[in-house]
Amino acid sequence: MTTITTRSLGTLTTFPDRSDCAPLFYTATKRTFDFVFATTALIVLSPVLLVIAVLIKLDDGGPVFFTQTRVGYRQRHFTMFKFRTMRTDAEQLVDQLLAAQAAAGNAGNEVLFKLQDDPRITRVGCFLRRTSLDELPQLFNVLTGRMSLIGPRPPLPREVAKFTPRELGKFNAKPGLTGLWQVMGRSTLSWEESINLDLRYCAERSFGMDTMIFFRTFKVLATQEGAY
């Protein structure tokens, strides 16, 4: 039996890797809950979704939704939906921002690109990100089964290209709309801490852990902990 060592908020923990052998009852029950919750949430929140769509359109006239290829369960690619929070030319500016970041002596990590004061974010987008309302369209991904309500963060293909064999272990679970690292610090965590928490979730996932993450997500959203 292999083990995974993870550091979460300063604590070093070693635990068995059971990431690819979740019980059938657990996975079936989780999928049922995902489907019922996503369906209900989309119906109940439909007026909120409409208001957000109008605000984005009025802000700069660009597309309401942002679609992006992400890597999910067993490294399968899928299209993830979000409300657009950045300028329409945001992807074209990545290389320019990376160069500016490196010139300033803040190269960050080699995998995850994320800026605290990203100049590409729109006025409406800033609010949506802090409240995590930009994530709501991912309920459609949950509905179709490409994502779960709770699971590891679904990375970009360019990020996965730099993963170590150990880090590829996060694809043994379906990606989630929220997850362990999102309720343990969100954007304030380093890449190492984030990937370790994803791996920890894959190894220790259970009804108890999912319930903890589910309810703690609402606390994080209410306080906007670690959001930018």
| DSSP codes joined into one string, 147-169 | SEEES-----HHHHTT--TTGGG
Q: Which residue has the higher pLDDT, 112 or 17?
A: 112
pLDDT 10s digits, 80-113: 999 999 888 777 776 676 666 656 555 555 555 5
CA dist., res. 123 & res. 72, Å (int):
30
Q: Is the pLDDT of residue 9 over 60?
A: no
pLDDT in tens, 141-172: 999 999 999 999 999 999 999 999 999 999 99
CB count within 10 Å of CB 116 equals: 7
pLDDT greater at residue 74 or residue 14: 74
pLDDT at 189: 86
| Contact yes or no for 5/13 (Cβ under 8 A) | yes
Task: Tell me which DSSP letter residue 212 carries.
Answer: H
Q: Which two tokens stand for residue 183?
A: 């309720």
Q: Report the C-alpha gap between 139 and 144 in whole angstroms.
A: 9
Which is it for strands 77-83 and 148-150: parallel, antiparallel or unpaired? unpaired
**Domain positions in the chain:** 3-223
Mean pLDDT across 49-74? 95
Beta bridge partners of 81: 67
Share of the chain above pLDDT 90, in %: 62
- Helix (H), strand (E) at residue 138: helix 138-144
